[in-house]
A = this chain, B = another copy of it.
């Protein structure tokens, strides 16, 4: 029995832990070869396969893999067309599966990737293939349905909360009125921006306001709330999602005179929300403002990964293998929370239809009435996900990574 595993979509700090989990569980389940596809399904179509058994041959390599950000096998943003529209592609995929005697296909990714699992599984059933297709979720956005949370979210949330704490220290040193706007990833859901709320504690005032895309944003409301708070506090630090939207549905950053336009894929470039809002604040209040975009480190800062996230991401990979071994296909491994305090989270499986192409946003009841903070319910939900650290292997002062040459 051979299996193949691939990674797809945007990176996280934990996606390689899921790869490690799939690999270890597959070997344990008796797989002869565990193939890795380079650059996801698009590399698979070109038969760009590696034999992971030759790469992850000892515990040290596996531990190093868990400490490596982004997709060890490379990624792609390739969405399969429907089988009706491009059957040739499906035939090609199943030819390769047969050629390499592959019984199980694991795909680690976000909701687009779950769509790939869904389509391949359905096509396999139609042609009577016995190959099982199982998805392993991942995304820093935490926007997948059914699963309690997504692998990768905990580490990104820990990074965001850590940096917000450090920025609060940095902003409070001057005895001057100032507003700092911190832009956090999340195009349609505010989960990662919400993590700014975790910074508040005995040793930190936290962010003064947090704006999520779940609540429509208006400049008047934004200015008014800042004005109110500046009367009681000199230095404000405000977390905003890159995806905050006006009541008419436009992104706030589209108001910028100097918009960034679209990227080569036609996605609107959202960079610039904090820059725009800081500029407007400066004009309105005549005070020092600063825009900080947390940017790519949010999904790449493995040097401060959440141990809980890494361990769970590993386990959810193992759950996917167990599901395939039980003959399941067209499913994804998920997290099912058993309890908050003490935190206890089990793994399970869900029908891929319940996940693919859907988005879960922050429940509005977890946002305070003011629309500028998260409630205790969110903190209870998110706090367990950032617990523990996976210390990097430092060599010559820097974290080491496992790299596929």
Query: Knowing A173-B74, A173-B75, A174-B39 touch, does A401 contact B295 (C-beta < 8 A)?
Result: no
B264 near A287 with CB under 8 A, answer yes
Residues of B within 8 A of A204 (CB): 401, 403
Which of A74, A167, A199, A288 has the most CB atoms of chain B within a 10 A radius of its CB? A167
Given contacts A383-B396, A387-B397, A399-B165, contact A174 B76 (CB under 8 A): yes
- Does A302 touch B at the CB level, under 8 Å? yes
Chain B residues near A174 (CB, 8 Å)? 39, 74-77
Q: Quick check: A296 and B43 within 8 Å, CB to CB?
A: no
Binds B, one of A64-72, A115-123, A313-321, A368-376: A64-72
The one of B11, B42, B172 that contacts A170, using a Cβ cutoff of 8 Å: B11
Whether the pair B175, A76 counts as a contact (CB closer than 8 A) is yes
The reply to whether the CB of A185 lies closer than 8 angstroms to some CB of chain B is no
Residues from chain B with a CB closer than 8 A to the CB of A175 are: 38-39, 42-43, 74, 76
Q: What's the least CB distance linking A168 to chain B, in Å?
A: 9
Chain A residues 37-82 with CB under 8 Å of chain B are 38-39, 42-43, 68-71, 74-77
Asked if A355 is at the interface (CB within 8 A of a chain B CB), the reply is no
The reply on A275 being an interface residue by CB < 8 A is: yes
Chain B neighbourhood of A401, CB < 8 A: 165, 169, 203-204
B403 in contact with A173 (CB, 8 Å):
no
The count of identical subunits is 2
- Inter-chain contact A304/B304, CB cutoff 8 Å: yes
Q: Does A402 contact B (CB under 8 A)?
A: yes
Let me know if A166 is at the binding interface, CB within 8 A. yes
| Partner among B169, B296, B300, B303 whose Cβ is within 8 Å of the Cβ of A68 | B169
Query: Do A398 and B296 touch (CB < 8 A)?
Result: no
Q: Say yes or no: A158 contacts B397, CB within 8 Å.
A: yes
At the interface, yes or no: A361 with Cβ under 8 Å from chain B?
A: no
Chain A interface residue count, Cβ-Cβ cutoff 8 angstroms: 77
From B11, B257, B260, B388, give the contact of A279 (CB < 8 A): B260
- Nearest CB in chain B to that of A8: its residue: B173
Tell me how far the C-beta of A329 lies from the nearest C-beta in chain B, rounded to whole angstroms.
Answer: 27
- Determine which of B201, B287, B293 lies in contact with A396 in the assembled complex, contact meaning CB atoms within 8 Å: B201
CA–CA, A260 and B68, complex, Å:
37
Within 8 A of B (CB), among A286-335: 286-288, 290-293, 295-297, 299-304, 306
Residues of chain A from 195 to 213 with CB closer than 8 A to chain B in the complex: 198-199, 201, 203-204
Q: Quick check: A169 and B199 within 8 Å, CB to CB?
A: no
Known: A11-B173, A74-B172, A165-B399. 17 other contacts (CB 8 A): A42-B175, A70-B172, A75-B174, A76-B175, A161-B397, A166-B297, A166-B399, A169-B403, A170-B300, A203-B401, A257-B258, A260-B275, A292-B296, A292-B297, A293-B293, A388-B397, A389-B394
